[in-house]
């Protein structure tokens, strides 16, 4: 999390920095800050504000900042509270060096202790502040070697300093001694360089620079670069100069527009019929000879034949998508599948088993725990002599240019377009679709379902876009009304079973993260083993009851809640049994396999309207960030 942006060139830096920070605010909004080199004096002017970017913009209103070289930061607090003193940029004691950083410096305490012994006084509680102090110390050493004050010297100093840093980071450094230069570096945190007209820039993510250029150079892991108004020099960790061709940004990577919606989240919920259409167009291909559909994943799928089991690694909402995926892969495709929290997997992985496919699921492609867990899995499998243990990997992501995109050879791009709302909606939906594709592919390869059964599932998927449009039209207003009655509740229970149990978990997560109302999801059959003690008339129960294998069971579980006076909301088609619900959010009848793709929509809408009714910042809920690049 945290977003960084930096620029050097012949144009004023501030507009680009502020525009970039606005586009990066989804990565964190505890504080924002900028540092710009003053053209006449070459001094660094630093300005920071607690809270949202608008506070920084207010601070800067009456200031004339004309410098052309600068850095900016939007923070998601890790070390130190969200206060001005902990806001970036951080400077050294002389104020001649300024640094913005995204990541965590794990050995900062050791480094800080050593610097304090040398007499350095720290002004913040952050891990980042060690960096400018270390660079200052390094520059002092280099000046004794009679190195000139220029960008190359700053590059050497930063390179020496980062070799002592442990953890992950993306950083940008300004030095008044080289007032037109910027040094940027990354390890396991994203950073892309942009080539503009008369300026070079870099940022944590493409939208931050998309208004200024559509030509980019992604920086690879462990690389460091010197940016000046005249050009860019990139070096790898062995100090070898790197040359690579710039690439163009796709239009979809540039557009961030709320259209006429009040919030990005609502727009993104409404994007879902389009997400479904896109997926069908991109990934479903009809074989003209036999009329059968194939899933068009771009990688060679030969290795699927030898796969005997699947491990899926993910966090948060992506894990809920993985749980639906696991249900499909086991129950439809017949392959034993386990889902792991990435943060657990990396420290307590299951014993190695042969012929295993590992799937990493992350919309951002940057989630630190997921990246580290996959990395660990690649290493331990690659070091095995037995070939059946070798790593087979797939990543499901919305950002194929991200860290996971570089880490894993086989990518399923969920093609959801940029999601700005911090609460994942359309990316969850697109992750689900990707798992349907995998389940179909495995079922075809393994012969676990007849072509007829596979055809039926595909037909249901093809029907999705108009059904989703219909759902949105029906439930936007009704969930707004429901939100009016429920915006003040304290606890909500979500129940689901089978393939819809993860949807209960996701419904609960959506509600709590944007409305700050306590919510918990349970497999409906588990309620009587404890959670039922929570129920009374103040605790509504939202029950997902899709006709199929467990419909009657879910209705009985809902009955048990009703007997404890809970207000019952049903997510179900209108049919026998659903009359027990006090309020029914009607879902079109469908095959049980595809029901999660429909059931999730009213739950997203309900969470959205409750949070909006409470007057909360739906797109940027407190304490959260879109891309969790710290452990
Ligand atoms: C919730 C949400 C988070 C993310 C989680 C993993 O709405 O968005 O729970 O799902 O932080 O993020 P990714 O998918 O980027 O790995």
Last residue of a domain, one of 224, 239, 254: 254
Q: Any idea what the CATH number is for the domain that residue 44 is in? A: 3.60.20.10
226 Cβ contact list (under 8 Å, min separation 6): 151, 152, 154, 155, 181, 182, 183, 232, 233
Cα–ligand 1 centroid distance for 317 (angstroms): 5
- Ligand 1 atom at shortest distance from the alpha carbon of 510: 7
Same domain? For 173 and 299 the reply is no
| 407 token code pair | 């880490």
Same domain? For 271 and 233 the reply is no
Last residue of a domain, one of 206, 231, 254: 254
Same domain? For 19 and 47 the reply is yes
Report percent pLDDT > 90 for the chain.
85
Pocket test for ligand 1, best of 1, 263, 318, 516 (most atoms within 8 A of CB): 318
pLDDT score at 298: 84
Residue 474 DSSP SS3: helix
Residue 625, in any domain of the structure: no
- Ligand 1 atom at shortest distance from the alpha carbon of 364: 15
Residue 366 DSSP SS3: coil
pLDDT score at 509: 98
Q: Which residue minimizes the CA distance to atom 10 of ligand 1?
A: 317
Q: Which of the residues 23, 48, 441, 626 is marked catalytic?
A: 626
C-alpha neighbours within 13 Å on the C-beta side of residue 222: 9
Examine the residue annotation and report whether 626 is marked as an active-site residue of this protein.
yes
252 pLDDT tier (thresholds 50, 70, 90) = low
pLDDT score at 280: 96
Last residue of a domain, one of 238, 254, 270: 254
Q: Residues 232, 395: contact at Cβ < 8 Å? A: no
Question: Cis peptide before 89, with omega less than 30 degrees from 0?
Answer: yes
Q: Is the pLDDT of residue 170 over 80?
A: yes
Residue 631, in any domain of the structure: no
Q: Which residue minimizes the CA distance to atom 15 of ligand 1?
A: 364
pLDDT score at 57: 96
Instruction: Give residues (CB < 6 A) around ligand 1.
Output: 315-318, 362-364, 367, 370, 423-424, 509, 513, 627-628
Same domain? For 270 and 224 the reply is no
Same domain? For 389 and 292 the reply is yes
**pTM (two decimals):** 0.82
Examine the residue annotation and report whether 48 is marked as an active-site residue of this protein.
no
Same domain? For 119 and 220 the reply is yes
User: What domain range is 455 assigned to?
Assistant: 257-462
Same domain? For 194 and 133 the reply is yes
pLDDT tens string 565-612: 999 999 999 998 999 999 999 999 999 999 999 999 999 999 999 999
pLDDT score at 253: 56
Residue 630, in any domain of the structure: no
Residue 190 DSSP SS3: coil
Residue 245, in any domain of the structure: yes
Q: Residues 272, 601: contact at Cβ < 8 Å? A: yes
Same domain? For 434 and 542 the reply is no
Cα–ligand 1 centroid distance for 509 (angstroms): 10
Q: Which residue minimizes the CA distance to atom 7 of ligand 1?
A: 423
Pocket test for ligand 1, best of 190, 312, 315 (most atoms within 8 A of CB): 315
Strands (E), 282-355: 284-286, 293-295, 309-314, 337-341
Pocket test for ligand 1, best of 205, 316, 367 (most atoms within 8 A of CB): 316
pLDDT tens string 378-388: 999 999 989 89
Same domain? For 383 and 524 the reply is no
pLDDT score at 351: 95
The CA-CA-CA angle for residues 566, 567, 570, to 5°, reads: 115
Residue identified by tokens 């936007």 is 476
pLDDT tens string 32-74: 999 999 999 999 999 999 999 999 999 999 899 999 999 999 9
Same domain? For 315 and 439 the reply is yes
User: How many domains in the chain?
Assistant: 3
Q: Which residue minimizes the CA distance to atom 3 of ligand 1?
A: 316
Q: Which residue minimizes the CA distance to atom 11 of ligand 1?
A: 316
Q: Is the pLDDT of residue 115 over 70?
A: yes
Q: Any idea what the CATH number is for the domain that residue 573 is in? A: 3.40.50.10490
pLDDT score at 255: 61
For residue 153, CA distances in Å to 90, 148, 189, 226, 581 come to: 20, 7, 24, 10, 71
Residue 623, in any domain of the structure: no
Q: Residues 53, 21: contact at Cβ < 8 Å? A: yes
Cα–ligand 1 centroid distance for 626 (angstroms): 7
Q: Is the pLDDT of residue 456 over 90?
A: yes
Same domain? For 442 and 543 the reply is no
For residue 492, CA distances in Å to 140, 519, 521, 587 come to: 59, 5, 9, 21
Q: Which of the residues 2, 46, 202, 315 is marked catalytic?
A: 2
Report percent pLDDT > 70 for the chain.
99
80 pLDDT tier (thresholds 50, 70, 90) = confident
pLDDT score at 251: 60
Average pLDDT, the chain: 94
Pocket test for ligand 1, best of 407, 624, 628 (most atoms within 8 A of CB): 628
Cα–ligand 1 centroid distance for 602 (angstroms): 20
Same domain? For 228 and 367 the reply is no
pLDDT tens string 273-305: 999 999 999 999 998 888 889 999 988 878 888
Cα–ligand 1 centroid distance for 27 (angstroms): 12
Residue 135, in any domain of the structure: yes
Q: Which stretches of 516-593 are DSSP H helices?
A: 551-562
- Nearest-CA neighbor of 92 among 57, 128, 52, 142? 128
């Amino acid at each position: 999390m945290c977003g960084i942006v930096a620029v050097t060139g012949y144009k004023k830096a501030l507009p680009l920095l502020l525009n970039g920070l606005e586009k990066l605010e989804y990565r964190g909004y505890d504080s924002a800050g900028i540092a710009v080199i003053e053209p006449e004096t070459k001094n660094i002017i630093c300005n920071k504000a607690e809270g949202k970017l608008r506070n920084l913009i207010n601070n800067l209103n009456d200031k004339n900042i004309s410098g052309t070289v600068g850095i900016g930061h939007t923070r998601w607090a890790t070390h130190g509270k969200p206060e001005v003193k902990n806001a970036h940029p951080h400077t050294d004691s002389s104020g001649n060096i300024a640094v913005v950083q995204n990541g965590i410096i794990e050995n900062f305490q050791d480094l800080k202790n050593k610097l304090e012994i040398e007499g350095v006084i720290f002004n913040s509680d952050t891990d980042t502040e060690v960096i400018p102090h270390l660079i200052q110390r390094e520059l002092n050493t280099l000046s004794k070697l009679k190195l000139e004050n220029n960008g190359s010297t700053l590059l050497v100093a930063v390179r020496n300093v980062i070799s002592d840093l442990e953890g992950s980071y993306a950083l940008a450094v300004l030095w008044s001694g080289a007032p037109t230069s910027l040094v940027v570096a990354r390890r396991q945190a994203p950073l892309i360089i942009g080539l503009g007209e008369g300026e070079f820039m870099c940022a944590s993510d493409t939208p931050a620079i998309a208004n200024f250029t559509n030509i980019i150079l992604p920086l690879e892991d462990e690389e460091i670069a010197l940016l000046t108004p005249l050009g860019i020099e990139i070096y790898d960790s062995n100090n070898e100069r790197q040359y690579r061709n710039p690439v163009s940004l796709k239009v979809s990577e540039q557009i961030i527009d709320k259209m006429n919606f009040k919030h990005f989240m609502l727009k993104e919920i409404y994007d879902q019929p389009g997400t479904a259409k896109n997926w069908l167009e991109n990934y479903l291909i009809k074989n003209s000879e036999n009329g059968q559909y194939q899933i068009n994943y771009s990688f060679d799928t030969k290795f699927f034949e030898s796969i005997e089991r699947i491990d899926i690694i993910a966090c948060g909402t992506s894990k809920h998508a993985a749980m639906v995926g696991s249900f499909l892969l086991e129950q439809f495709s017949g392959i034993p599948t386990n889902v792991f929290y990435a943060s657990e997997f990396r420290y307590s992985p299951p014993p190695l088993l042969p012929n295993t496919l590992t799937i990493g699921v992350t919309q951002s492609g940057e989630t630190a725990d997921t990246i580290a867990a996959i990395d660990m899995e690649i290493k331990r499998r690659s070091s095995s002599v037995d070939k059946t243990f070798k790593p087979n990997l797939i990543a499901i992501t919305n950002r194929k240019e991200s860290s996971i995109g570089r880490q894993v050879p086989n990518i399923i791009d969920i093609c959801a377009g940029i999601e700005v709302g911090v609460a994942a909606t359309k990316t969850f939906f697109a992750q689900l679709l990707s798992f349907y594709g995998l389940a179909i592919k495995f079922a075809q390869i393994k012969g676990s379902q007849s072509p007829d059964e596979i055809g039926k599932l595909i037909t249901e998927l093809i029907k999705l876009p108009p059904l989703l449009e219909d759902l949105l039209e029906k439930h936007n207003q009704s969930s707004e009304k429901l939100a009016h009655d429920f915006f003040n509740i304290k606890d909500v229970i979500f129940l689901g079973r089978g393939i819809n149990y993860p949807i209960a978990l996701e419904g609960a997560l959506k509600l709590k993260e944007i409305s700050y109302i306590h919510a918990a999801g349970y497999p409906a059959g588990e309620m009587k083993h404890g959670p039922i003690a929570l129920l009374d008339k103040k605790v509504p129960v939202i029950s997902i009851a899709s006709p199929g294998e467990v419909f009657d069971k879910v209705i009985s579980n809902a009955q048990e809640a009703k007997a404890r006076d809970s207000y019952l909301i049903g997510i179900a088609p209108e049919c026998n049994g659903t009359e027990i619900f006090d309020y029914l959010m009607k879902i079109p009848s469908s095959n049980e396999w595809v029901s999660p793709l429909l059931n999730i929509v009213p739950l997203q809408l309900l969470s959205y309207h409750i949070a909006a009714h409470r007057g909360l910042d739906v797109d940027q809920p407190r304490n959260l960030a879109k891309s969790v690049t710290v452990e």
